[in-house]
Amino acid sequence: MNRTFSIWTLVGFIFGVSLFVYAIIMSTENYMMFLSLSSLIMVLGGTFAAMMISFQARYVMRALGTLVMVVFPFHINPQKLTDESKRFLEWSKQIQAGQLKQVEQEVSGIKDPFLKFATELLCAGYKGPELRSLLTDFAEKVYERKMVQTYILNSMAAASPAFGMIGTLVGLVIMLDNMGSDVSKIGAGLAVALLTTLYGVLFAQLLFKPVAEKNGQIEAILRHRNMILMEGFVLLSEGKSVFKVQDKLNTFLSPKFWLNQMKGGAPSK
């Protein structure tokens, strides 16, 4: 599987930020008042600190990496799933012809961990329900590990508005403290109070939460793909015919992209 650049993910983020900036510029000439380093530090610093306390550091760093890598997701679409399923039709023919070693050599050139593990089990003699159980466990554990980043990102989405409220309280304390002395500083305290809440909500709704949802969707698609591969290997282990392999795998695919061995493996229309 290869990662590809997701232009629409980047466009969505830029579009959301642009609308926010445009609304500010159209509403006031003093748009620089919406920039506050202290508010940014309170929201992002507090969110990061809370995550480091709540989770192991390596998982937090992976979650932060996901904020960038979500723009380069694994490219899996219905046609890709069909293309990968076609392999099993050819492998079924080869195995029935006693060419298991040839299949093993072909898969050995693929760097996909699931394919390698499944091939090793197949060559080791695992069959039917036993093979399905092992591959299901493998696929589920991979999914669970990958979903840790999604869970952390959702936690960040929940924490950032909370730290925005903390910043609001800090700003109100500053404002009230200055009410009895320097009245000119009241505005600065109130600005910090409101901007931290604004930053907290923006980061939660425009960054952390959308990335968490996107990452969860990607991992769900990868999980579905691994389930298709698992079923294919189980069918190969049972020595099923090409047509039985085809019919079973088609239950996982979109009807538009069904395998059709009668048409040379091309998707049926």
191-195 mean pLDDT: 78
Q: Using CA atoms, how far apart are residues 158 and 146, in angstroms rounded to an integer?
A: 20
CA 259 from centre of chain: 28
Give a yes or no: residue 176 inside a domain.
Answer: yes
Look up the domain containing 180 and give its range. 36-70+77-257
Predicted confidence at residue 66, as pLDDT, reads: 93
CB 212 within 8 A of CB 154: yes
Burial 161-187 (b: 16+ CB within 10 A, else e): bebbebbbebbeebbeebeeeeeeeee
Has residue 263 got a pLDDT over 90?
no
Q: How far is CA 5 from CA 12, 90, 187, 247, in A?
A: 14, 31, 44, 33
Tokens of 42: 């309170």
Give a yes or no: residue 29 inside a domain.
Answer: no
Tokens of 218: 């990607």
Q: How far is CA 177 from CA 11, 52, 163, 174, in A?
A: 44, 32, 21, 5
Give a yes or no: residue 17 inside a domain.
Answer: no
Q: What are phi and psi of 3, to 5 degrees?
A: -85, 145
Q: Using CA atoms, how far apart are residues 136 and 148, in angstroms rounded to an integer?
A: 19
Residue with the larger pLDDT of the pair 262 and 132? 132
Predicted confidence at residue 267, as pLDDT, reads: 44
Q: In 3-state terms, what secondary structure has residue 74?
A: strand
Q: In 3-state terms, what secondary structure has residue 215?
A: helix
23-48 mean pLDDT: 87
The model's pTM: 0.83
pLDDT in tens, 94-111: 877 777 777 777 776 777
Predicted confidence at residue 188, as pLDDT, reads: 64
Give a yes or no: residue 26 inside a domain.
Answer: no
Neighbours of 210 (CB within 10 A): 18
Which residue blocks in 109-127 are alpha helix, DSSP H? 113-124
Give a yes or no: residue 162 inside a domain.
Answer: yes
The total domain count for the chain is 1
Predicted confidence at residue 52, as pLDDT, reads: 96
Predicted confidence at residue 56, as pLDDT, reads: 94
Please give the torsion angle defined by the CA atoms of residues 48, 51, 53 and 58, in that order, rounded to the nearest 10 degrees. Answer: -100
Neighbours of 28 (CB within 10 A): 11
CB 93 within 8 A of CB 242: yes
Q: Tell the residue number behind the tokens 């960054």, with chain if given.
A: 207
